[in-house]
Structure 1
Amino acid sequence: MADTSRLASLLADADRRVFRFAATRHWPGAEPVLPRLSTAANHGLLWLGAAAGIAALGSGARSRRAAARGLASLTLASATVNTVIKHAARRERPGLDQVPVIRRLSRQPVTTSFPSGHAASAAAFAAGVALESKGWGAVVAPVAASVAFSRIYTGVHYPSDVVAGAALGVGAALAVRGLVPTRSQMPSPGRPFAQAPRLPGGEGVVVVVNRSSGSSELASLVADALPRAELVECAPEEVDGELEKAAGRCRALGVLGGDGTVNRAAAVAVRHRVPLAVFPGGTLNHFAYDLGIESPHDTCRALAEGDAVRVDLGRFTPGPGGAAHGYFLNTFSLGVYPELVRVRERWAPRIGGWPAGVLAALETLRGAHQLRAEFEGEHRSLWLLFAGNNIYQRMGPTPGRRHDLADGLLDVRIVHGGRLPGLRLLAAALSGPLSKSPVHAAERMRRVRIGGLAPGTSLAYDGEVAAAPEELVLDKAVEALTVYRPQVLAASAF
């Protein structure tokens, strides 16, 4: 006991000596910067701004994920420190008599000293960002370290407060990663590997670019990376025709656009038996991201090496517009989702894709949108029928991404009809796993028969909406599509 008390006394004395050294030492250039930086980090405002900057300036989904993970880590760290640990520790803050007046904050904090909430938030945000993007982590880390040191420099925390806060912040980031794994932790998607021609510089590749997806900048990037490729830019109504013409004269069919455009290219590629090269360029790029392709550079690298995989295609029969089959790379749905797509497409040109999606979700959650259908011979009242091409794994509380794009299975989920089904589903999702909710049912299937659909019923597939027939069958075209994908995914810095 005496040894423990002596050790605690020695640590406290060392803490005070380090604090005194930091307070009395002259730090060149620090006086006009650190107090302002410390104040800017109040209530996490500095990190909110940093997250917005990362999402806006970064290239693609990795940057958005890094920003979101940083904020989630910060939220957990701040809640843990400010609501639990500070009330338990009750340590007084250092005296300010040794701190020059010019360094002191204009408004002194009134909470207890241990641990430093600013240091916890800074470390949590920086660690969360770095776990998803090493490049952005390297940018944020010096700022986070400066905020942590500013708390000692301005005299509001002892060094041990800051060290403990930083450790808790890193722990919060790791805890968030445990709940929602980073993409680098996921199993490599897209097996088995397939034979495809090596096309360095894009020789023999024709890339069809959907001009409406706002991909002109990406098209220029692809043109620079693949100088031997042919790029064909076209309007949405011209995409099908250009894809057919391109497939007849290419060794690999390239497509730059969102999921709807990629869906149409996949159907053409399967019909003409040519491999597909996907360049993500739309608002939503679920297939490319689940495949592990986050930027055109990934696809260019796969083309140069001839790296490709075989993936499944979801299929519904009969297809839209009198076609024998329709295909879906991601999802097929009946019920509320086609209405959500309509609302989103109506608002997207005015307010942007993501805000329109949020608005559409809020509007459809409030509605009933009951659908009567015969599902596998049983008559049901449905709010939503969802069929995923391959099994969607959980990422946190909701379905996130697919680990295997060639599993031969349909991920079939049903939300039953009734009073306020959307709000009941939301409440069930917030309260626990949906698998335990009577509102929701899920099953893995290879074939689904649906009948009894009323005239005027709509279906949605990969973000496209079409009129549904009275009866249809869902099944799989197993490993039907060959698509380029690098065998070893590059760890993009940003």
Structure 2
Amino acid sequence: MSARDRTGSDPNEPDMGVVSQVHALDVALFQAIAQTESPALDRVMPLLTNAADYSKLWVGIALAMQNSGSRRTRRAATRGLITLGITSFAANQVTKRMSNRKRPELLPVPLARRSKRLPSSSSFPSGHAATAAAFAAAVGLESPAIGFALSALAGAVGFSRIATGAHYPSDVIAGFALGAGIATLGGRLVPPVEPIPPNRSEPMPIPQPPRPRGQGVVLVINPRSGGGRGTRILAEVRVALPDAEIIELAPDADLVAVLDAAAQRAQVLGVGGGDGTVGAAAQAAMRHDIPLAVFPAGTFNHFAGDLGLGSVAQVVRALADGNAGRVDVAYLNDQPFLNTASAGAYPEFVRIRERYERRIGKFPAAAVAAFLIARTAPTSRVRYDDKEIELQGMFVGNSVYEPRGFAPAIRTRMDDGLVDVRLLEAASGLRGIGFLFAVATGRIAHNRRYHELDVPRFEMDILDGAVPVARDGELGEITDRIEIRVDYRALTVYRPPGFAD
């Protein structure tokens, strides 16, 4: 028998390490792909890999998705872009700096198939593969059908990195794992908005006469709202709705009086401004029993956004088609709010979160705000449902908000007859650390110091002094008793068809 055993290995030679074996397999697979003669690969692979440079392919797809009429598709695009950005940083600025793997030898790769841009950074992992997987997986959390299609495209991008000679197969596999892992973690931290169950009651349409030129519409708009956005909206409305009457709010105008006078002579009351202005317009529309058309002229446009009205064109289309429906109006101590109300430390929590969320994202900003509030905010002893707790903060939503947890962002329905009440108990020391850990891991719903109630009515007594409340971002009174109720489908508003999607 020869010196080599039956497996073909020499017992006198040291075994190859796992890394060496993987590298040998990498080289073999890389060369097999490179030596495959295929005019199709020569034409398509460079185009695909170049399109994915600097994530241009994914950003373009996200922009197209943002122009979709579906709120779910737009949410998917936003999640995809945020996850892509985080993954790009993790792959290119962290993981690659921890590795120093040389790029493959390009000699076996046909000249026609090579990418125009040959990177000089570490080969491990593939940044293109990581961002491709991250975008596709993140989009799939919100929209499985689109995510499935994108996963095939992501796989093709990953293969193009091997075919053009930029990476070994294991680099691409590692990139896929990194991107998919970050997307999965993001889904844990900020759960996707759940689709509406098919057995839920459908929205109530209220057909209106078509108003393609704005006939009968009286629009009250604050041109200074939204950092100048109001002025741009105003210019668009003058062109799109030439028959509408437009009232520009003066800085010293009596908002309630102006809206009431406009509603008296209007068939449709239009409004453009911040959430406080929109709330006042809603009250005027309800008093005079006319529908409301909301133009997104504010900074955040929470109400218009939840209606699916992100542009003047969408409002104009709803007016032209006569698409309207009814939504709930909630009340805190008999004062109405359309979006959210809060008490205790939560107004300060929201202020801190909104300060940071455009720079670091909604959930990281919520974690920062929770940390700061836990350290500095006063607490109150309260009683509700025959039990007492030490309250740190309180959030109330008009209709149920998603995702669950302490960073509510959007409503899938605005006419469910419920208020979304979320209470945070005070916590310090190890309990405070446990709460922050629950926030950071997406497990807050399982934390005993956090409470959620979806109810038509809620009452709470403040036992050791009054607390401030806020409605739709506007600071309200200081009170020692909180009564919350919802007026079911009380307000008629224009919205696109299928706005609950």
Flag the 1:424–1:300 CA change in 2: closer, same or farther, 3 A.
farther
Partner residue, 1:6 = none
Q: Distance in 2 between matches of 1:102 and 1:445?
A: 59
Partner residue, 2:247 = 232
Q: Distance in 2 between matches of 1:472 and 1:26?
A: 67
Q: Distance in 1 between matches of 2:319 and 2:451?
A: 41
What TM-score, normalized to structure 2?
0.69
Q: Distance in 2 between matches of 1:14 and 1:352?
A: 40
Q: Distance in 2 between matches of 1:73 and 1:352?
A: 14
Partner residue, 2:208 = 196
Flag the 1:427–1:182 CA change in 2: closer, same or farther, 3 A.
closer
Query: For the Cα contact (< 8 Å) 1:103–1:154, is it kept in 2?
Result: no
Match of 1:255 among 263, 271, 275: 271
Letter in 2 for 1:314: A
1:213 to partner: Cα distance: 2.1
Cα deviation per residue 1:382-411 (whole Å; 9 max; x = unaligned)? Answer: 111222212224369954432332222222
Partner residue, 1:428 = 438
2:489 is the counterpart of 1:482: no
Q: Distance in 2 between matches of 1:177 and 1:280?
A: 29
5+ residue gaps, structure 1, are 1-11, 85-90, 318-324
Q: Secondary structure at the match of 2:479?
A: coil
Letter in 2 for 1:232: I
Q: Distance in 2 between matches of 1:429 and 1:263?
A: 31
Query: For the Cα contact (< 8 Å) 1:109–1:156, is it kept in 2?
Result: no
Match of 2:411 among 402, 423, 429: 402
Query: For the Cα contact (< 8 Å) 2:370–2:436, is it kept in 1?
Result: no
Q: Distance in 1 between matches of 2:454 and 2:328?
A: 15
Q: Distance in 1 between matches of 2:365 and 2:153?
A: 36
Q: Secondary structure at the match of 1:294?
A: coil
2:226 is the counterpart of 1:213: yes
2:120 is the counterpart of 1:107: yes
Q: Distance in 2 between matches of 1:411 and 1:52?
A: 36
Letter in 2 for 1:228: D
Q: Distance in 1 between matches of 2:136 and 2:280?
A: 40
2:299 is the counterpart of 1:283: yes
1:328 to partner: Cα distance: 1.4
Q: Distance in 1 between matches of 2:284 and 2:361?
A: 27
Letter in 2 for 1:326: Q
1:296 to partner: Cα distance: 2.6
Query: For the Cα contact (< 8 Å) 1:287–1:330, is it kept in 2?
Result: yes
Letter in 1 for 2:225: S
5+ residue gaps, structure 2, are 1-26, 96-100
Flag the 1:284–1:26 CA change in 2: closer, same or farther, 3 A.
closer
1:187 to partner: Cα distance: 6.6
Q: Distance in 1 between matches of 2:477 and 2:56?
A: 43
Query: For the Cα contact (< 8 Å) 2:332–2:483, is it kept in 1?
Result: yes
Cα deviation per residue 1:312-371 (whole Å; 9 max; x = unaligned)? Answer: 111122xxxxxxx311112221111223456689x79xx999899777666434323212
Q: Distance in 1 between matches of 2:482 and 2:181?
A: 48
Partner residue, 1:119 = 129
Which of 93-102 and 166-175 deviates more?
Answer: 166-175
Partner residue, 1:467 = 477
Cα deviation per residue 1:106-147 (whole Å; 9 max; x = unaligned)? Answer: 6364548xxx55334235436756987x99xx9xx9999778
Flag the 1:455–1:204 CA change in 2: closer, same or farther, 3 A.
farther
Q: CA RMSD in A?
A: 5.4
Query: For the Cα contact (< 8 Å) 1:76–1:172, is it kept in 2?
Result: no
Q: Distance in 2 between matches of 1:208 and 1:440?
A: 41
Partner residue, 1:414 = 423
